Amino acid sequence: MPAFGFEPAEAIAHLRAVDPGLASVIDAAGPFAMELKKARSVFAALAEAIVYQQLSNKAAATIFGRLCGNFPRGPAGLTAERLLELSDARIRAAGISRPKLKSLRDLARRTTAGEIPTLARARRMTDAEIIERLIAVHGIGRWSAEMFLMFRLGRPDVLPLDDYSLRKAYAVAFRKRTLPSQVVCADRHRAYELAKVCGGGWLGSAAQEAFEVIDGLGERDFETITAVVHAIVARTEARWA
Q: Which residues are catalytic?
A: 163
Do 157 and 235 contact (CB within 8 A), yes or no?
A: yes
Alpha-carbon distance 97 to 174, whole Å? 40
Q: What is the CA radius of gyration of the chain?
A: 19
For the chain, how many residues are written? Answer: 241
**Count of CB atoms within 10 A of residue 198's CB?**
27
CA distance 68 to 94: 9
Asked if residues 157 and 227 have their Cβ atoms less than 8 Å apart, the reply is no
Tally Cβ neighbours within 10 Å of residue 66.
16
Q: Are 139 and 99 in contact (CB under 8 A)?
A: yes
Q: Are 96 and 67 in contact (CB under 8 A)?
A: yes
Residue 140 CB neighbour total at 10 angstroms: 23
Burial of 87 (0-12, 13-18, 19+ CB in 10 A): exposed
